[in-house]
Amino acid sequence: MNTDSYHSRAVPKEDCFVWIWLPGETEPVVAGKVQRVKGATERYAFAYRGAYREDQKSISIYDGDLPLRRGVFSPPADHGLASSLRDALPDNWGRRVIVNNLTGDKGRGIKEDAFDEMTFMLESGSDRIGALDFQKSSSEYIHRGNDEVTLQDLLTFADCVQAGKSVPVELDKAILHGSSIGGARPKALISDAGTGTGRPRKMIAKFSATNDPFGMVKGEFATMRMAADAGLNVAPVEIAQTLGRDVLLVERFDRDLLPGGKWARKAMVSALTWTQENELGSRHVAYTELAEFIRERFSNPEGNLREMFSRLTFNILCGNTDDHCRNHAAFWDGRSLTLTPAYDVAPQARGNYEARQAIAITPGNNASTLTNALQAAASFTISETDARKIINDQVEVIAENWPRVSEEAGITPDEALYFENRQILPHYAFDGYGPCPDLRPTNQKNMPAPDPF
C-alpha cells in the first residue's frame, strides 16, 4: 500500500458539491454545496447555489428535506446528512469496496466507520443510483468510472473483496463499478452495448457469493419473473453464468436513453426519505404508514396504493422478508412521487416455520401472514374482497409458473426443496387464511425437507 497516497486521499474534506441531472437532461449542473457542521458529532449541512435556485428548470433534490429555497439546511441530530442525499451514497458492499481501495484492509480488517460520509461521497463511482453525484469542484465535472470492464473482471474483483484478499492491480479499473450501489451483497454496474437486444442498456450485476446457503441469485431471478407474471411493475431481469457462477442482471430504471445515444438520469428517493426516519428508526415504519404517505404525496395515489399492497402480499408469498425502507423507492420529478419498479424481491433464508417482514404490516405487527395483509388492506383503500382476489390471483400465478421459472433459473430438484413451501408459498403465510398449495411434485412429496438454515 502506498501510505503517502492513502493519507492524501483520506484527509477529511470540509465540503463538496452536489451535481444533479435535471429531468430529460444529459449533462449535470451544480445544485449546491454540502458542508461539514462543526461539533462533536458528524453532521453535514446543505445549501442550494443561487444560480440554481433562480433557474426556472431547477427542481428541489426532494421537497421533504431539501425544498428549493434560500438558506442552509441542517439535518436533525440523529440523521447526520439529509436523507435525500444519503440515498445517493453506497451501503455496506460499496463501502467495503471503497475502504479496501483506500487502505488495502481486507476481511475483518475493513472498518467502514473509520471514514466519514464525505469520503464515501467523493470516493464512490459517479454512475450511482438516481440523479445526483458528488464532486470536489463546482466548475469542472469529472466522471469517476470506466465502462470497459467485463463481467469476469467484476466477479473476480467481488470475490477478492468478499474473501478479504488483495485486489490484483489489473482489476483496479473494476473498483468504482461496485462502489456506489446500495445493499450488502456483491454487485456492480455494467453497460450493455445492445448487441443481443438491439438497444443499449444500463444494468446492475448481482453475483452469487461463495458462502450462499442456497441458490440466492437463482431464487431472485425466479421471484422477479413471477412478480412480473403476476402483474407487478418490476425491473426486467436476466440470469447468466460467468466463470461457472450465477449472475443476475437487473435492468436499471433510473436511466433513460435519449435520441442521439446519450443517457438521462431519473431522480429517486427511498421510503426512508419519504418517512424522514433514520436507519435505526426505520424498524418502526409500517406498510400502513407508507400507504398514508402515498395517499397524501403521490401522483395517481389509487394506482400506487394498489401496487404497494400487491408488493406486500407478493413479498409474503415469495418469502421476501428483506423489504426494508431502502428496498422501496419512488421517482421524484420536482412536483410529485410515483413508485419505481420493484427491485430486490428475493426469497430470504429462514430458520424456522415463522417469518417476519422487515417493515411492520400494521404498527407493531410484522408477522408474514396473509391475514395480517388483509388487516392492512383498508389503509390502501382496498376492500377485503378485492384484497383476497389480489392474493388468490398471485397464489395461482406462482403455483402455475414456478415449474417454468425455476427451470429457467437453473434450480435443480434438490435446490427446489429449499424453496418450495418454505420461501415460495410458505405454509406459515397461509395460517388463518386458507389451504396452502403444495408446490412439490407428486414423486417428491415423501422426501424429507432439508434442515432449516
- Residues with Cβ within 8 Å of 199's Cβ and at least 6 positions away in sequence, in order, are 257
Give the per-residue pLDDT at 226.
99
Higher-confidence position of 175 and 75:
75
Range with lowest mean pLDDT among 81-90, 107-116, 308-317 = 107-116
Amino acid (one-letter) located at 252: R
Q: Would you state the pLDDT for residue 452?
A: 39
pLDDT at residue 113, as a whole number:
67
% of the chain exceeding 90 in pLDDT: 63
Question: How far is it, in rounded angstroms, from Cα 12 to Cα 121?
Answer: 12
Of the candidates 138, 140, 86, the one whose C-alpha atom is nearest the C-alpha of residue 116 is 86
Q: Tell which wins on pLDDT, 261 or 401.
A: 401
Query: In this predicted structure, what is the pLDDT of residue 179?
Result: 65
CB 385: neighbour CB atoms within 10 A? 8
- Determine the pLDDT at residue 194: 62
Q: Is the predicted pLDDT of residue 317 greater than 60, yes or no?
A: yes
Question: Which strands, in side-by-side order, build the sheet including 15-20?
Answer: 72-73, 43-48, 29-37, 15-20, 132-135
Classify 362 as helix, strand or coil: strand
pLDDT of residue 67: 98
Residue 196 has pLDDT above 70, yes or no: no
User: Would the pLDDT of 453 be above 60?
Assistant: no
Q: How confident is the model at residue 291 (pLDDT cuts 50, 70, 90)?
A: very high
CA–CA gap between residue 302 and residue 13 (Å, rounded) = 45
pLDDT single digits (tens) 135-156: 999 999 999 876 656 777 777 7
208 or 72, which is more confident: 72
Identify which has the larger pLDDT, 359 or 209: 359
* pLDDT computed for residue 280 by the predictor: 76
Mean pLDDT of 289-304: 97
Domains identified in the chain and CATH numbers: 3-135 (no CATH), 151-251 (3.30.200), 265-444 (1.10.1070)
pLDDT computed for residue 9 by the predictor? 45
Q: Which whole number is the average pLDDT over 327-345? A: 97
pLDDT, one tens digit per residue, over 17-34 is 999 999 999 999 999 999
Q: Output 101 or 377, whichever has higher pLDDT.
A: 377
**Residue 121: is its pLDDT beyond 80?**
yes
Judged by average pLDDT, the poorest of 14-18, 74-78, 229-233 is 74-78
pLDDT at 99: 82
Indicate if the pLDDT at residue 357 is higher than 60.
yes
